[in-house]
Chains A and B, each alone.
Chain A
Amino acid sequence: MADRHLEPDTPELRARWGKFAFSKAWEAKAKAAIARYPAGRQRSAVMALLDYAQRQVGEETQTQGWLPIPVMEYVAAYLDMPIIRVVEVASFYTMYNLVPVGRFHVQVCGTTPCMLRGSDDILAACKKRGMAKGHTSDDGLWTLTEVECMGNCASAPMVQINDDNFEDLTADRLDAVLDALAAGKSPKAGTQEPGRHTVEPSGGPTTLKQMVKANHDYRGDW
Chain B
Amino acid sequence: MPKVTVDGVEIEVPQGATVLQACELAGKEIPRFCYHERLSIAGNCRMCLVEVKPGPPKPQASCALPTSEGQEIRTDSEMVKKAREGVMEFLLINHPLDCPICDQGGECDLQDQAVAYGRGHSRFHEAKRAVTEKYMGPLINTVMTRCIQCTRCVRFSEEIAGVDEIGALYRGENMQITTYLERAATHEMSANVIDLCPVGALTSRPYAFEARPWELKKTLSIDVSDACGANIRLDARGREVLRILPRVNDDVNEEWISDKARFQVDGLTRRRLDKPWLRRDGKLVAATWAEAFEAVSKINPGKSVAVVAGDLVDCETMFAAKALAGALGSSLLEGRQTGLDYDCSSLAAVNFNSGLAGIEDADAILIVGSQVRWEAPLVQTRLRKAVKCGAKVFVVGPEWEATYPASFLGTDLAVLDKLPKDAEAAFKAAQRPALILGGAGLGKGALDACLALAAKYKLVRDGWNGFNVLHMAAARMGGLMLGYAQKGGIADLVKAKPKMLISLGADEVDYTRFADSMIVYIGHHGDKGAHAADVILPAAAFSEKPGTYVNTEGRVQWADKAVFAPGDAREDWTILRAMADALGVSVGFDSFEGLRAAMAKAVPALGREGLADYGALPKGKAGAKGSIEAYPIKDFYLTNPIARASVTMQRCSAELLHGETFAEAAE
Contact = CB atoms under 8 A, between A and B. Distances in A.
Interface of A: 1-2, 4, 6, 9, 69, 82-85, 87-88, 91-92
B167 A87 contact: yes
A92 B170 contact: yes
B634 interface: no
Contacts of B179: 84
A9 B179 CA distance: 14
B159 interface: no
B148 interface: no
A4 B170 contact: yes
Contact of A88 (B165, B167, B173): B167
Nearest to B167: A84
A92 B169 CA distance: 7
Interface of B: 164-171, 173-174, 179-181
A84 B179 CA distance: 7
Given A1-B174, A2-B174, A4-B174, A69 B167 contact: no
Contacts of A2: 173-174
A9 B174 contact: no
A82 B173 CA distance: 24
B180 A87 contact: yes
B164 A82 contact: yes
Residue among B164, B180, B181 with most chain A CB within 10 A: B180
A82 B171 CA distance: 19
Given A9-B181, A69-B181, A84 B170 contact: no
A71 B317 CA distance: 58
Contact of A91 (B166, B170, B173, B181): B170
A137 B179 CA distance: 33
Nearest to B179: A84
A69 B180 CA distance: 10
A92 B170 CA distance: 5
B174 A85 contact: no
B436 to A, nearest CB: 26
Given A4-B174, A84-B180, 16 more contacts: A1-B174, A2-B174, A6-B169, A9-B181, A82-B164, A83-B180, A84-B166, A84-B179, A85-B164, A85-B167, A87-B169, A88-B168, A91-B171, A92-B169, A92-B170, A92-B171
A9 B166 CA distance: 18
13 contacts: A1-B174, A2-B173, A2-B174, A4-B174, A82-B165, A84-B164, A84-B165, A84-B166, A84-B167, A84-B179, A91-B170, A92-B170, A92-B171
A101 B86 CA distance: 41
B153 to A, nearest CB: 12
Contacts of A88: 167-169
A84 B168 CA distance: 8
A196 B169 CA distance: 42
Contacts of B174: 1-2, 4
A88 B157 CA distance: 15
A56 to B, nearest CB: 23
Chain B binding surface, main DSSP class: mixed
A94 B411 CA distance: 49
A91 B164 contact: no
Contacts of B170: 4, 91-92
A83 B164 CA distance: 8
A146 to B, nearest CB: 15
Nearest to B158: A82
Nearest to A72: B180
A6 B168 CA distance: 13
Contacts of B169: 6, 87-88, 91-92
Contacts of B168: 88
Nearest to A83: B180
Residue among A9, A69, A92 with most chain B CB within 10 A: A92
A165 to B, nearest CB: 23
5 A-B pairs with the lowest CB-CB distances in the bound complex, closest first: A82-B164, A84-B167, A91-B169, A84-B180, A88-B167
B152 to A, nearest CB: 16
A88 B166 CA distance: 10
Contacts of A85: 164, 167
Contacts of A87: 167, 169, 180
B186 to A, nearest CB: 13
A68 B168 CA distance: 18
B591 to A, nearest CB: 56
A82 B186 CA distance: 14
A88 B168 CA distance: 6
Contacts of B164: 82, 84-85
Contacts of A84: 164-167, 179-180
Nearest to B176: A91
Nearest to A2: B174
Contacts of B165: 82, 84
B33 to A, nearest CB: 20
B251 to A, nearest CB: 31
Contacts of A91: 169-171
Contacts of A1: 174
A87 B174 CA distance: 15
Nearest to A91: B169
A92 B168 CA distance: 9
A137 B30 CA distance: 54
Residue among B170, B173, B174, B179 with most chain A CB within 10 A: B170
Contacts of B171: 91-92
Nearest to B181: A9
Contacts of A92: 169-171
Contacts of A83: 180
B171 to A, nearest CB: 5
A170 to B, nearest CB: 32
A82 B183 CA distance: 14
A69 B170 CA distance: 15
Nearest to A94: B171
A84 B173 CA distance: 19
B346 to A, nearest CB: 43
A70 to B, nearest CB: 11
B402 to A, nearest CB: 15
Nearest to A1: B174
A69 B169 CA distance: 14
B378 to A, nearest CB: 23
Nearest to A81: B164
A82 B168 CA distance: 13
Contacts of B180: 83-84, 87
